[in-house]
Amino acid sequence: MSGHSAVRNNPLMQVLRAPADALQFNARQWEDLLWHARITRLSGRVWYLFEQSGMTDRVPEPIRRRLYSAFLEAEYHRRQLLWEIDRIHRAFYGSGRSFVVMKGGAYVALGLRAAIGRPVADVDIMVAPDAIAEAEQMLLKHGWEAVIEDAYDQRYYRRWMHEFPPLRHRVRETEMDLHRGILPLTSRLRTDAESLYRMSVVLDERGTRVFSPPDMLLHCAVHLFHDGEIRGALRDLVDLDSLFREFGERTGFWASLIPRAVELGLQRPLFYALRYTMRLLETPVPQEALHAAEIGRPAAGILAFMDWTVPAALVPPLSSDEALASSLAGFCLYMRSHWLRMPLGPLSKHLARKSLRRLWSSEPGVRDAAG
Amino acid sequence: MIVGDLSFEEFERALNGPGVGLRIGPFSVRIRDGHQELFAPTFHTLYSEFPLLPESEPAEFRIQLRDPVGLRRWWRRQMFFRLDDSDPFYPFPAGLAYPFFEWGLNWCIYEHVHEFFVIHSAVVEKRGRALLMSAPPGSGKSTLCAALVNRGWRLLSDEFAIIDKTNGHLIPIPRPVGLKEQSIEIIRKFAPESWIGPAFADTSKGTVAHMRPPAGAVARMNEPALPAWLVFPTYEANAVTALSPVSKASAFITASENSFNYKVLGESGFECHARLIDQCDCFDLKFSDLNAALDLIEELPAARGSAP
């Protein structure tokens, strides 16, 4: 059950840390690399890492083709995303309102290394907290539609969540999440969305905004450790690693990061981000920054729990033993995420309602092969 | 070594053990399990000419035909198609494992392959020049393809035009030709010497069966061909069978709609596509009579150059 040997012997983790290690792989390990890269949606990223190491011509042909294809798909997403940003400007035109592009979209808009080879499934934008209803109306007028029709789910989003119900464009079929913050309103961890918006930076003449570097990093950490499911989210850890490395080259970044985390009350997710990028991806972090980040260290029991569950849930399992450990860790973290998102009262009401509904409606997630 | 070098027992043992790795056109596929009475013999026969992967070569598509956990393993048995360890589709009745393998492999190609420009099209070749027949399902493209293959054209594919982006060459992937409904009988009569596998009834596409690719087509799997004609076939009962020239502009639009990754490839997709249309004489083929349609197609090589 030790997470550590799994991390050491996992071909994908090896490649993420030291791409050239792959040159020693046998056929089976190459296949495992491809398998794990595919399920974590890191294939395009692995291609980029091989390219950076100048070793693409030494990757076996079948593996090379699959990684390269994924890279091309990520490039397609990049073009699509830039066009979506353009279309959102059009929808907002004349309103005097602006928006912050978040997550993968921001990495693309800024041309960060984190964007290279990284697919972007949907666009995430944030508007000033007081502008969200107006923003939604403008988007609905310009071809976006609600994905969720169910009234309970719609209410749930509007009442509790940091994002409105997802939208999809009628013609382009691209999905969008419209945010007013980065954490559910019910979350145990609170942060100042106004401040995030205020400190965001304008990056072009149209007024496209992105979070400032520390805030972008903190958002990514919050997203991984306090919002979604950690299991299977290795890609978010790779984002964090890439952001730490790239922003870390800029003067003043480390000095501003920790005070800003404290100001926003996000020192805990930052502590986790540093701990697990360093443990799993060997991210270089200056000693002073590490020392300052200690302010976010949780109680020993919690940390022991996280140290066991996080690597087990993030590293894709190779064997059936690892798969079992990963499911168990994933389940524990799933319970934790609900605990963090909502007080017990509304949570139990919500879960009861969800599970009752699941009894008489089965949700299709897959398709018919012949279709 | 080819699949046919293994006895059926050896083949089945490998299938149920470490898996069987094959080279299928440009792709390497490893397939495992498939514990179903019709699957292994059908597969062993239809793919008998395909080369086995050397031990040292990794496969890019690891496919498993897996039993579900629980009751449906025994009662009205179902199976899953898995790529790596994910199930992209609904489970299917176990008896349909073979056609589901073919559809699943199609999905692998149109969902994951962007290193080539890929169009939904049958491709056959004569004297180095290739004919593409591109159309949505149900237009008779596989029937025409199977018939032409039995008249001496070389099979490149009945499903995918796989185009090398660097030079515009068509890469063969001569898998078994999928036949549906009446066309199974039509091809049985047309070419009694061809080997057609078992007919699988009640799939979501009706009854399907697969024609074994000629040994020569598989042996020449590494020999690309140059595109020369692009035909858009439509089967229509009682129509007058006729081949009519189509403008390059309209051929460009129609064929791009039949492409799987035109959008994904962006500018290079556009360039590949434009080159293909430049290289081809383009026609609509409306047909009700298979033999008449084949005769019209056979005249294409002679008429090369006179089309618009």
CB contact under 8 A, A369 and B85: no
Residue A370, pLDDT > 60, answer no
- Res. B91: pLDDT tops 50: yes
Residue of chain B whose Cα is closest to the Cα of A37: B84
Confidence of residue B307 (pLDDT cuts 50, 70, 90): very low
| 3-state DSSP assignment of residue A148 | coil
pLDDT category of residue A186 using cuts at 50, 70 and 90: confident
Residue A371 has pLDDT above 50, yes or no: no
B91 vs B41, higher pLDDT: B41
Which range of A154-158, A317-321, A337-341, B83-87 scores highest in mean pLDDT? It is A317-321
Q: What is the pLDDT of residue A335?
A: 82
Asked if the model's pLDDT at residue A12 lies above 50, the reply is yes
Give the number of beta-carbon pairs within 8 Å between A and B.
83
Give the one of B26, B99, B264 whose C-beta lies nearest to A76's C-beta: B264
Question: What number is the average pLDDT over the span B52-73?
Answer: 85
pTM, two decimal places: 0.91
pLDDT classification of A363: cutoffs 50, 70, 90:
very low
Query: What's the average model confidence in pLDDT over A143-157?
Result: 85
What pLDDT, on a 0 to 100 scale, did the predictor assign at position A359?
Answer: 58
Taking only residues 5 to 24 of chain B, the set having a beta carbon closer than 8 angstroms to any beta carbon of chain A reads none
pLDDT at A367 over 80: no
Return all residues near B73 (Cβ < 8 A) that are at least 6 apart. Answer: B67
Cβ within 8 Å of residue B62, ≥6 positions away: A31, A35, B19, B30, B32, B83, B84
pLDDT, average across residues B229-233: 97
List the beta bridge partners of residue A71. none
Q: Which of B60, B171, B264 would best serve as a mutation to test chain A binding (most A beta carbons within 10 A)?
A: B60
Find the range with the poorest average confidence among A124-128, A173-177, A254-258, A355-359.
A355-359
Among the ranges given (A50-64, A309-323, B16-30, B294-308), the one the predictor scored with the smallest mean pLDDT: B294-308
pLDDT above 60: residue B306: no
Total length of chain B: 308
How much is the pLDDT for A345?
A: 62
- C-beta atoms of A369 and B112 within 8 A: no
Tell me the pLDDT of chain B averaged across its residues: 91
Q: Is the dihedral of CA A187, A192, A198, A202 positive or negative?
A: negative
pLDDT in tens, A306-328: 999 999 999 999 888 888 888 88
Per-residue pLDDT of A243-281, as tens digits, reads 999 999 999 999 999 999 999 999 999 999 999 999 999
Residues 34-63 of B with CB under 8 A from A: 55-60, 62
Banded pLDDT at A171 (limits 50, 70, 90): very high
Mean pLDDT in residue range B272-280: 96
- What percent of chain A is modeled with pLDDT above 90? 71
Select the more confidently predicted residue: B286 or A189: B286
**What is the chain B residue with the closest CA to A369?**
B89
Q: Considering only B68-77, B165-174, B293-302, which range has the smallest mean pLDDT?
A: B68-77
Residues in chain B with CB shorter than 8 Å from the CB of A34 are 58, 60, 84
CA geometry: angle B84, B86, B92, nearest 5 deg: 110
Q: What residues of chain A lie within 8 A of the CB of B136, using their CB?
A: none
Contacts of A28 in chain B (CB under 8 A): 58
B28 near A CB under 8 A: yes
